[in-house]
Chains A and B, each alone.
Chain A
């Protein structure tokens, strides 16, 4: 079994585990590449259907392309789309210009999500996070219990082995389930390519820039890139796969290059 197929099967197994266990679940869809890939896997897990609601948290600051993409595929794929908005705060004018960025995220994202979970009584949420996104993610489990304050006690997590995911304990308010935790950024792109998963054009280079991740327009900045299709993004990532530590890697490459050029009399 090839690498991408193995990753896919692992994800589908987890999605079906979560659906069996909780039934009353939902998936968080940011319209970005990771959660769109997750949505694709959900459709595969349930033979083209999506048997639970898909939540999109609308801060009202998303890119217009994202709203368009969301509506197009919500319709095409027959999604039961719940758009979550913290109306009180939106009306009160909360935004990146008002208060700190953290306040803005907290009100328009976290609290909007809390309201939806409470209102619908969801027992678990599927999230498209990846282990390689951030250091702290390396500690994540596939089934991650949260208490009622959304707190994640990462220092004291249960063991997780042999695809046996933790059952619900008394203190567990709801679960975050991470079916693509084992995928890397590059895996995602290669899988999107193989499966021809649609994506918003924000990821593709326009005027020498593209977005590597997308969210609220005021808080996203594009990267320099000429990659204008998925193949080129893959090539770009493969050639700069250490980019998150790019500074150090670049220094080393430069030092090597300088030594080489000097040895041939060029410096």
Chain B
């Protein structure tokens, strides 16, 4: 049997790598390998992330190729039905089949518009290798190999099959670096980020060479960590950690070059190679705590004696979960629900006008746009969607923290996610017309397997 070498896809995920920064680093010679790739028939394209632009949602949109209304992931936390108690969605909450399910014949009862579209058009016996993909814990039994990325509390449960777990253990693979080191032990933080990056690369190369596969998705998440704490160092040459930040990107570039070369060598240059990110990044000017704003505006009362969202008091009209997910405190949906369904539009209008008028102390508009959940999401999971999503202007990091004493503040975080500045590197002419959206990538990949 001869294999069609063009039907092989390698996707390198670089969590939080902005298109604008990559373009600058290519220009400045920080990333010669990427430059080389771009000059050989590939484009660096700016891409929109999901709304909200949080990694769990965006990666779920990437892996399923559908909107959160179908895949069901709106953030890293949710409230348990009919309560204010927190729960943490994991892969069991992803309701749509992922790329590896669609081409691997493991969709089971999961269905989606994308899977329907490609049903019978792509094979169902292809093998996928998926390394460090966020929101895939616990690891599913796929046709291939998978190790979960953020959040992965247990490498063993997060890896399928067990032999892959054993391999990862044998190289002292790092699931996730200790982000809490960033402020008090920055050098240790950078060291660990580089080490983790090396381990990821080691794992990529190992599985590339030692497994049979059709689709390879390798994700680096250390970029996101670095950006959260040191994005101000990305362009500021006087920043104490500028050099270390740039050095990290040169290592990232090495890895891009190595996997590209190896992949192209193994497919005679005919495979589909892409890099992409789940969102962009921008420096933070202010953190904005919408729950506090809602308290000030009389939309929300809190009982400080309680924890997290159980603080929400009877009579509250709305509350916010990270990053800008606004939930109306509907009767019948929450134990202290106070808004009846027929009052939805008046509460929505009240919230929208408060948010659109919101300015910081220098008079800058904070909110770029307030989306209505009904316009953003469609599918079986859209009933659970946030009622509104507030997206901030660059520099204003919208937070769902419920314990802050003021509506504006600053902290040790230096970078915030942006929706409009994710990136994708793909062969020229591959991108669909119009602006590229993260949900488009799955189709591009599946087209390859037809």
Contact = CB atoms under 8 A, between A and B. Distances in A.
Q: Do A and B touch, yes or no (CB under 8 Å, in the complex)?
A: yes
Interface of A: 205, 226-229, 231-232, 234-235, 238-241, 252-254, 256-258, 260-261, 263-267
B53 interface: no
Contacts of B150: 260
Given A260-B179, A264-B179, A265-B413, A239 B109 contact: no
Interface string B81-98: 000001010001000000
A93 B287 CA distance: 69
Nearest to A261: B76
Contact of A239 (B153, B157, B176, B308): B157
Given A260-B179, A261-B76, A265-B228, 8 more contacts: A235-B141, A238-B141, A238-B160, A239-B138, A239-B139, A264-B228, A265-B399, A265-B413
Contacts of A257: 76, 88, 151, 153
Interface of B: 76-77, 86, 88, 92, 106, 108-110, 138-141, 150-151, 153-154, 157, 160, 176, 178-180, 225, 228, 308, 322, 399-401, 411, 413
Contacts, number: 66
A226 B97 CA distance: 13
A241 B138 CA distance: 11
Contacts of B322: 266-267
A258 B154 CA distance: 14
Contacts of A229: 108
A65 B196 CA distance: 53
B157 A263 contact: no
Given A257-B88, A261-B77, A231 B153 contact: no
A183 to B, nearest CB: 18
Interface centre among B86, B153, B154, B413 (most CB of A within 10 A): B153
B92 A239 contact: yes
Contacts of B411: 265
Contacts of A232: 108-109
B153 A256 contact: yes
Contacts of B154: 253
25 contacts: A226-B110, A228-B109, A229-B108, A231-B106, A231-B141, A232-B108, A239-B138, A240-B138, A241-B157, A252-B153, A254-B88, A256-B151, A256-B153, A257-B76, A258-B86, A258-B88, A260-B151, A260-B176, A260-B179, A263-B180, A264-B179, A264-B225, A265-B399, A266-B77, A266-B400
B87 to A, nearest CB: 8
A252 B88 CA distance: 12
A163 B92 CA distance: 43
Nearest to B91: A239
A252 B399 CA distance: 25
Contacts of A234: 141
A261 B77 CA distance: 9
A226 B108 contact: yes
